[in-house]
Amino acid sequence: MTVIADDAPPPAVPAPPATTGESATRATLTAVAPNREGQGENTSPEAPGKPSSPPSLFSRPFRALSIGSIALAALIAFEALAVSTAMPTVAKALDGLSLYAVAFGGTLAAGVVSMVVSGLWNDRVGPVRPLWTGVALFVAGLVLAGTATSMWTLIGGRVVQGLGAGLLSVSLYVVVGKAYPKDLQPRIFAAFAAAWVVPSIVGPALTGVIVERLDWRWVFLAVPMLAIPAALLVRPALRGMTTPLAQREGGWSRASTGKVAWAVAAASGALLFQYGGQQTGVFAIVVLLVAFGVLALAVPRLLPKGSFTFKRGLPSTIMLRGLAGAAFAAADVFIPLMLSRERGLSPAMAGLALTIGALFWSLGSWTQSRPKPPVGRAGLVRAGMAGILLGVGVVSLALIPAVPVALAMAGWSLAGFGMGLVYPTLSVLTLAASAPGEAGRNSASLQLADSLASAAVLAVVGAIFAALVTRPGPLAFVAVYAISALFAAVGLIFAGRVTAEEE
């Protein structure tokens, strides 16, 4: 998962003519005037003696934007999760089992590149063009995949879909920073988290029904029917978000081209990690080392300076997102297998742990949505990383036969709650730390850290697990949970550095 600042308001720019409904919407949104990009404060006058009511995501100024943006986030999430369920049927129908992994890796690589492009594009012209281009590519990719008659055509559709999802996801973050006041940003990010959690619960079952009762093609073709109306709901709020020509920096620079080139290199490294994780023996080690080398060269050039030394503020915020995602993903993938293999649970019961974790993730997101949490934002990150670390430790106890399986379920609920605290909080902190004209690239960095760290750690733990699983005992699972706990522990150590000063 991974869902944005001026000390003075920008110079007035004549607004384009609008319809009556759009004028009313824009007038109400203007009442919430940003004092920094992404940190708006309600400046509308209040009647003397009449207390002002706190704004709501679904109050009139924000209702259409909230519904539309949450729906778009949910559709991106559903498609990412649904394909995993449908792909065995798709590969068999298109005689493309040999290209099974490429159908996933191509989407990941395309998303890495388009996130970087989206960040640069958003900062230069505003979110309108990147967002609409993202919607167009996302829908076009789905249609191409849904009408594919060969596996290569389907892979092409998945690549186009990934390009669109990357552009769209970063643009939505920038829209949040421009359209919502500071107090509402934790709530909209909590809603984005729920938009990912709900599909993770109902998505696999719904996809199974679609594949069995209708046809696998509808897994792709049904989503555009919802994505287009959702995008139209967002449209009125986008008016006025285009950066005027007079305020834009120069054209596409050599530095921008270089950053995109490094994004391509990072995407290639991520693909190599995926490929190496599926190999065995010395060859797997060589591929993983090459992939690590490529990422080690590329990623530092895509993240804020000081990220890998956990410099206080934005760099640490970005790195914490990657650490949290890697810690959670490494354990999450192997929990059903562990409960099935070591404790004899049925697939349905083993998968229940993931459902419980997802529900508690949503609960954690709701908990952090208070505008001014008593422990501060850094305190929320500490608590969340501690929850992930403790949750992984409790889950690993299920490898002991005498420990009740219910304890593993409780442990993963704690880890899910921790993720719910961490993810939206880091999004809010990223927007708060973004200077004018940097919200796009910082939002892209946040999501890149998440995607690349998760992809890399899954490849590494997959290779380690494959090397150890044939040995007697639960050593393979112990290694996986140890790596997961290590990432969470490092995150806990540096959690206090997400703010410019110690809270």
Q: Is 94 helix (H, G, I), strand (E, B) or coil?
A: coil
Closest CA relative to residue 439, chosen from 174, 132, 179: 174
Q: What are phi and psi of 438, to 5 degrees?
A: -125, 0
**What is d(CA 301, CA 366) in angstroms, rounded to the nearest whole number?**
34
305-503 adopts what CATH topology? Growth Hormone; Chain: A; (1.20.1250)
- Please enumerate in sequence order all residues whose Cβ is within 8 A of that of 278, keeping only pairs 6 or more positions apart, or say none: 101, 462
Mean pLDDT score across all residues of the chain: 82
Rounded to whole angstroms, the Cα distance separating 463 from 442 reads 32
3 state SS of 33:
strand
Residue type at 19 in one-letter notation: T
Cα angle, residue 369 at apex, residues 364 and 373 outer, rounded to 5°: 95
pLDDT tens digit sequence for 243-273: 655 455 555 667 778 889 999 999 998 888 8
Q: How far apart, in Å, do the first and last CA atoms of the chain sit?
A: 26
In 3D space, the residue among 111, 120, 445 whose CA is nearest the CA of residue 252 turns out to be 120
pLDDT one-digit tens code per residue, 160-193: 999 999 999 999 999 998 889 888 888 998 888 8
Q: Which of 196, 183, 137, 250 is nearest to 447 (CA)?
A: 196
Which three-class secondary structure state does DSSP give residue 48? coil
Q: In CATH, what class is 57-243?
A: mainly alpha
What is the secondary structure of 135-198 as a DSSP string? HHHHHHHHHHHHT-SSHHHHHHHHHHHHHHHHHHHHHHHHHHHHHSBGGGHHHHHHHHHHHHHH
Domain ranges of the chain: 57-243, 253-302, 305-503
Query: Which tokens is 389 given?
Result: 């670390």
- Encode pLDDT of 413-464 as tens digits: 999 999 999 999 999 999 989 887 888 889 999 999 998 998 888 888 888 8
